[in-house]
Amino acid sequence: MKKYYPNQLSYGANNTVVALSDKEVAKIFTNDTRSDIGSEAEKMKFANTINDLAVKFIRLDFNEAEQWDILVMERIYPIDFRSYEVEKRELWLSVFEDELKQLHSAGFVHRDLSRPSNISGDKFDNILLTPTGLRLIDVGISALKSQVGELLFTKFIQVEMQELESFKQYFLSR
């Protein structure tokens, strides 16, 4: 059985997210994952300079009581898209696609719109509908063009655009 943390909100393949307050959450990095936490923070900060699609970076911190390295980010309260008309969802999708392409043009690719089939969770649970539109969370495996080069970056974008098409079908057909 998986260990649950106080104030746990969710967990992924490598990290758990806990609530710190009404406005902040923390992604927990245990063991020696400082390079991962720093890389994720840098990618999140980079995306935040382009537009508001990715969750907002707040700070890196250390929880003394639990001995955790933590990446603190904004707390997002998702809403169920199925309670909105398809026309509104189409508009949100249009904005989402435009903002995703802005990130690509600037040298950022999310790489996790669709979860691999061997990872638990909903297929598109890194895309949340919020009162301000669709948002991306968990930039852990995102890539910056400056770090991976043109060839890999282009491949990542091609895969992401295919995932976007699948997400559109999912988002509009439920």
pLDDT above 90 (res 166): yes
Q: How many CA atoms lie within 13 A of 14 on its CB side?
A: 12
Q: How confident is the model at residue 115, as a pLDDT?
A: 66
Per-residue burial over 102-111, b if 16 or more Cβ lie within 10 Å, else e, is ebbeebbbbb
Residues spanned by the domain of 87: 81-173
Banded pLDDT at 32 (limits 50, 70, 90): low
Domain closes at, from 21, 52, 74: 74
DSSP helix, strand, coil percent of the chain (3-state; round to 5): 40, 25, 35
pTM: 0.91
The reply to whether 1 falls in a domain is no
Q: Strand (E) positions, 75-163? A: 108-109, 127-130, 133-136, 143-144
Q: For residue range 101-160, what is the model confidence (pLDDT) as tens digits?
A: 999 999 999 998 986 555 555 789 899 999 999 999 989 899 999 999 999 999 999 999
Give the span between the Cα atoms of 87 and 125, in whole angstroms. 22
Q: For residue range 75-89, what is the model confidence (pLDDT) as tens digits?
A: 999 999 999 999 999
Give the span between the Cα atoms of 165 and 91, in whole angstroms. 15
Q: How confident is the model at residue 174, as a pLDDT?
A: 84
> Domain count of the chain?
2
The verdict on 104 and 57 lying in the same domain is: no
Q: C-alpha distances in angstroms, 73 versus 18, 32, 38, 156?
A: 11, 20, 13, 25
Q: How confident is the model at residue 60, as a pLDDT?
A: 97
Q: C-alpha distances in angstroms, 80 versus 87, 126, 133?
A: 15, 14, 11
The verdict on 65 and 86 lying in the same domain is: no
Tokens 């301000």 correspond to 132
The verdict on 48 and 116 lying in the same domain is: no
Q: How confident is the model at residue 14, as a pLDDT?
A: 79
Q: How confident is the model at residue 123, as a pLDDT?
A: 80
Q: For residue range 55-75, what is the model confidence (pLDDT) as tens digits?
A: 999 999 999 998 999 999 999
